[in-house]
A and B are shown apart, each in its own frame.
Chain A
Amino acid sequence: MIRLESVTKRYGTETVAVRDASFDIAKGDFVFLVGPSGSGKSTLLRLINRQEQPERGEVWVAGQNVNEMAESRVPYLRRNMGNVFQDYKLLPNKTVFENVAFALEVIGKPRHVINRQVPVVLELVGLAGKEDRFPEQLSGGEQQRVSIARAFVNRPLIMLADEPTGNLDPATGEGIMALLEEINRTGTTVVMATHDHRVVNAMRKRVIQLDRGVIVRDQERGVYE
């Protein structure tokens, strides 16, 4: 599903964000990218959804070479990926329903599809009944659920999550992880960048560890260390 071949990415001439990274993530995998801040976790995610282009190496997603893809094809690539962030990136002037619907609206889905799919996904993330709330009326955990709903409403092949529990207390974080695991069980590949030991150790999933841009460990059923 996702394959990196000797990928190197530098910012400017000095900072090496990722050096010679290679890995292969199969369909339906759940993978943690771990490592301290600045070790290149986010850069890897941004390479996968083509917010960044590598300096060397190749990134393959769902059988397509992401780097050689025409600029005009990139939006269609991204429709196969849901993105979840530490700071949720919700639109404050839209309700819960509208935030989720927005993701379908801007890829041209008709109203009747939106009205059918949004309630289903809000039910899935446990926000049924809160459709008309605005983000500021929700707790952090609930806001993250909205953002997961938005990422998942189009049933993507891949979920990319960048520190999704970073702003949440441990109990709330566990709830978010349970949700991501449930999404993973539907067959969606999940790649999650985190430096949250507790989460990684509790889940026992594949762990790819980075240190200053270099992959130092790639382990099935790993822990954080």
Chain B
Amino acid sequence: MIARIAYAFREMWASFRRNLTLTIAAILTSAIALLLVGTTFLIQRAFDNLLVQWRGDVEMIVFVRSDATPEQISLIDQTIKAAPTIIDAEKLQYLDKTQSYEEAKRIFVGDPVTLSLLTPDNIPSQFKVVPITQDPELVRSLSEQYRSLPGVQDVALAEDEFQVISTLSRFVRTVTLVMSLVLLVVAVGLIWNTIRTAMFARRREIEVMKLVGATNWFIRVPFMLEGLLHGLLGGIASCGGLWVLNSAWSNGVAGFKPGTGISSLVVPSSYLTGVMLLILAIGALVGAVGSAIAASRFLDV
């Protein structure tokens, strides 16, 4: 068994080196494709930070002063629910100070100055309001009314702040996703072609192997490992690229004025690690798929 594994790896490595130009092309293509996949995830996550407080069709947020009394809070609650034709009372959601603080951690992830000024004590709690009506003017007039209630600090409307970003985010996601899918297919194709070439270069050996009774899997495995290695190396390269890209972006964003929104467009490093692992997995999969197709189709050389 050990002899077989050693054989498979030795053959994989020999073939890998023999065909260096095509190998590099295959690795670079998968690296670029995977880099794009990773970037898609990061962009999406960054936009999500910005949009997290508007998730679930929330169109209006009523911020409640941190020193508001429970009576004031329940008055606000009743007032909002008093317009059931405009407001979806079922979906009305109240985030207390602790929950609001958790949310703020995400919104201000790239803006530590602002975040450091907030505590679970001084942060405003908030009502997230989902309207039923399609008419933005009705919602706007309600917001004016809420603003005058005691205990209300401010009322924010999605229309003013984040509709544009939300649309933009969807557009960017679609474009990058389509591009990375196309590139992934190209990467599979290139790995397929590289493995095919490698098998063709060794057709005499394969012929002898088949005649002396080597099993098809024995013949295939080194080639499949080779393709897997292409994908993995592409994945590693793209992880490096992603890390550089993300660091540069985070540094650049840190220079922006706090509170402009741009500063929330960064991702936590735990998320980056997750994306990198995912990219490695996708890379290995792409390599395995490309080489498996080649290795089963071109065994009869």
Contacts and interface: CB of A to CB of B under 8 A. Distances in A.
A212 interface: no
B211 A83 contact: yes
B170 to A, nearest CB: 50
Interface string A79-113: 10101000001010000000000110111111100
A91 B3 contact: no
Nearest to B214: A106
A91 B213 contact: no
Given A75-B216, A89-B204, A91-B205, A108 B3 contact: yes
B105 interface: no
A144 interface: no
Interface of B: prevailing SS: helix
Contacts of A81: 213
A103 B207 contact: no
Interface residues of B, number: 17
Nearest to B217: A72
B117 interface: no
A79 B214 CA distance: 8
Contacts of A79: 212-213
A5 B4 CA distance: 39
B213 A75 contact: yes
Contacts of A71: 216
Contact of A108 (B4, B204, B207, B211): B4
A75 B213 CA distance: 4
Nearest to B14: A93
B212 A103 contact: yes
B300 to A, nearest CB: 10
A75 B212 CA distance: 8
Nearest to A73: B215
B209 interface: yes
A89 B215 CA distance: 19
A15 to B, nearest CB: 20
23 contacts: A49-B211, A72-B215, A75-B210, A75-B215, A75-B216, A78-B213, A79-B213, A83-B211, A83-B212, A89-B204, A89-B211, A91-B204, A102-B205, A105-B3, A106-B7, A106-B212, A106-B214, A106-B219, A108-B3, A108-B218, A151-B212, A154-B212, A154-B213
What are the 10 tightest A-B residue pairs by CB atom distance, in nearest-first order?
A: A79-B213, A78-B213, A106-B214, A103-B212, A75-B213, A75-B215, A106-B209, A83-B211, A110-B3, A108-B4
Given A83-B211, A107-B214, 7 more contacts: A71-B216, A72-B215, A75-B215, A78-B213, A103-B212, A107-B213, A108-B218
